[in-house]
Amino acid sequence: MSRQKILELLRSRPGDYFSGEEAAERLGLSRAAVWKAVDALRKEGYTVEARTGLGYRLLFAPDALTEKEIRGFLGETELVGRELVCLDSVDSTNTYLKKQALSGAAEGTVVTADCQTGGRGRMDRPFQNPGGKLVALSVLLRPRGVPLTRLGCVTAQTAVALCGAVEEVCGIRPGIKWTNDLVIGQKKLCGILTEMALEGESGDLQYLVIGMGINVHQTAEEFGPELREIAVSLDMALGKAVSRPALAAAEIRALDRLYGDILRGDTGGYLDAYRRDCVTLGKPVQLISSDGTRETARALDIDDEFGLIVELEDGTQKTVRTGEVSVRGMYGYVD
């Protein structure tokens, strides 16, 4: 606990020194305890400079998805992230958290993983997460008393929340490709997968798990020939390294705010933001059904339940709520 407190204190004044005396007074520790905490941080890979007459300052922190690193950026939340599980490797953070949900895991539990060996996206597509390159994160919610119709919008609302988290940390705001992909420069940055379980007899919601993976450190070469034309990382977009634990903390805060808004029924702002951020609107799209049938249309608007309103070639309009929508110039669909 002393190490975490010292780390948070050092981070609160980036580039500046804290004297041992000031740190001890602020945290209610002895000078010896401060020194021991600094020494322990150094052994864990942190570079903490000590200068006589000035004190301590943090020069380097590992880019690790550990509880210590994430909590160093997180601060207090209302519910989401109070329980935080940080795994080195897992098949899927969603799969792991669904198992924990059935074992009574607390609402608001967040799971991150440095590496996913069996991550999945929509329609069970495999989702790659090499170690140290991406922020894979899932959250467990139990929104009892919230109508299922209201929860049908949670994936799109999560996309808006994540756009805000990326903007907070990186200074750039991604767009949203309907329904739930974050994009930068017409390339995919993040995917979101929402899964829920209902009780068999009552039909009541047991749990809701929202999983997401944001590309952070990959290079074009590391995406490989199949993905490099359709995927992007934050490092590639910004031309500099982004802190994964800082991004994970921003995601948790954004999800915490979103969940509070959902419980209060105060989510109108998410719809406005989604319409503003949705890069699909005004574009030609292909509507691809489960049997492979394709229709060409133009995306016109987002309705109040985040459905995509499109105009077909014959001038008729309809609202799309399921299935695949491929946008010209994105993800391999080019006119």
Q: What pTM was estimated for this model as a whole?
A: 0.86
Strand partners, 214: 135, 190
Answer with the one of 239, 261, 277 that is the final residue of a domain: 277
Residues 271 and 131 placed together within one structural domain of the fold:
yes
**What value, to the nearest 5°, has the Cα angle with vertex 110 and ends 250 and 192?**
70
Tokens representing 291 are 């049997």
Output the CA torsion sign for 270, 240, 68, 188. positive
User: How far is residue 164's CA from residue 169's CA, in Å, rounded to a whole number?
Assistant: 9
289 and 305 within one domain: yes
CA dist., res. 16 & res. 59, Å (int): 10
The number of beta carbons lying within 10 Å of the beta carbon of residue 100 is 19
Domain that holds residue 303: 284-327
Identify the pLDDT of residue 91. Answer: 92
- Looking at residue 301, which CATH number applies to its domain? 2.30.30.100
Amino acid at 76: E
- In which element (H, E) is residue 55 found? strand 55-60
pLDDT digit string (tens) for the chain, length 335 residues:
688 889 888 988 888 998 999 999 999 999 999 999 999 999 988 999 999 999 999 998 899 999 989 998 999 999 999 999 999 999 999 999 999 999 999 999 999 999 988 655 444 454 455 679 999 999 999 998 888 888 999 999 999 999 999 999 999 999 999 989 999 998 999 999 999 999 877 778 999 999 999 999 999 999 888 888 899 999 999 999 999 999 999 999 999 999 999 999 999 999 999 999 999 999 999 888 878 888 899 999 999 999 999 999 999 999 998 767 776 656 553 33
Angstrom distances, CA of residue 152 to CA of 15, 49, 74, 88, 209: 45, 50, 28, 32, 13
Residues 80 and 22 in one domain: no
What the block records as the tokens of 332 is 């391999």
Tell me if 334 is assigned to some domain. Answer: no
Q: How many CB atoms lie within 10 A of CB 298?
A: 15
Q: How far apart, in Å, do the first and last CA atoms of the chain sit?
A: 57
Same domain, 296 and 271: no
CA distance linking residue 194 with residue 196, whole number of Å: 7
Residue 307: predicted pLDDT = 94
